Amino acid sequence: MGRLIENLYAVAGSGLTHEWDASAYLVAGDEPVLIDCGSTVGYTKLKANLQQIGYAPKDIRKVIATHGHWDHVSGMALLREESDAEFLIHEADRRQVESGDTDKTAAFLYNEPFPKIAVDGLIQDGETLRLGDYDFEVIHTPGHSLGSVSLYTRIHDLGILIVGDTVWGGFHPRIGSDIDKWEQSLDRLLELDFDVFTWGHGQPCLIPEAKVRIQEARRQLGVYFHPWFKPFYRKFTY
């Protein structure tokens, strides 16, 4: 767990909670907010990580979803049991989390159920969210899923982009992927003025030389599809 910059912390993800969890971030302050919250299986560790920064689940006011996949937001079902935090997501990923669709939420990749999560509010393209001391711009970046969003902020002079799975995320129609929309989304991100980015998987950190790296991801998008992907819960040995 760690502070990324000022009041922005990484609180879930690889090495922080469960190996299946996507990265999640805390914007600390008087009204703490989470950007994604990880999965049900990582929730206990998420709580411990929040506690280390001085927060309990009941302190969290909002959870902003980068998109409606199991590894990013299913933990919300447990957070809700001990918090009044509101859950906000893009309209296009709303139905799948409210209905617990195991395909669209990618829960089938983990052989886990997706607990139904009621949505309290929607976030949309172009909207500015005041999270803690910072303004985050919502950029609708469909492609990995149709309701994927990226969040853009500036902290002092540093342009920061939080992309969820819009960069290096998996592709499958079952999880709502669309390659043409995804290309357009990456092109939109590349128009922004940013210095660092962080994505949904791998070690949660602010990655430098961000523009060059997202340009590389853009070039690699869709060049090769692998039909033998192994679900995360399955290990084949021969």
Residues that bind Zn ion (CB under 5 A): 22, 69, 71, 165, 200
Measured from each CB, the residue nearest to Zn ion is 69
Q: What is the C-alpha to C-alpha distance for residues 193 and 157, in angstroms, rounded to an integer?
A: 11
Smallest distance, Zn ion to C-beta of residue 227, A: 19
Q: Which is nearer to Zn ion, 61 or 69 (CB)?
A: 69
- Give 29: exposed, middle or buried? Use CB within 10 Å, 0-12, 13-18, 19+: middle
Helix (H) or strand (E) holding 10: strand 8-12
Q: What is the C-alpha to C-alpha distance for residues 49 and 18, in angstroms, rounded to an integer?
A: 12
Beta bridge partners of 150: 139
Measure CA of the first residue to CA of the last residue in the chain; give whole Å: 36
Q: Residues 62, 67, 70, 72: is their CA dihedral positive or negative? A: negative
Smallest distance, Zn ion to C-beta of residue 67, A: 6
Q: Where are the beta strands (DSSP E) in 71-221?
A: 86-89, 121-122, 128-131, 134-140, 149-155, 158-162, 196-198
Q: Which is nearer to Zn ion, 26 or 28 (CB)?
A: 26
Asked if residue 33 lies in contact with residue 53, where contact means CB atoms within 8 angstroms, the answer is no
Smallest distance, Zn ion to C-beta of residue 170, A: 7
Smallest distance, Zn ion to C-beta of residue 139, A: 16
Q: Which is nearer to Zn ion, 38 or 200 (CB)?
A: 200
Q: Which is nearer to Zn ion, 24 or 138 (CB)?
A: 24
Smallest distance, Zn ion to C-beta of residue 72, A: 6
Q: Which is nearer to Zn ion, 47 or 69 (CB)?
A: 69
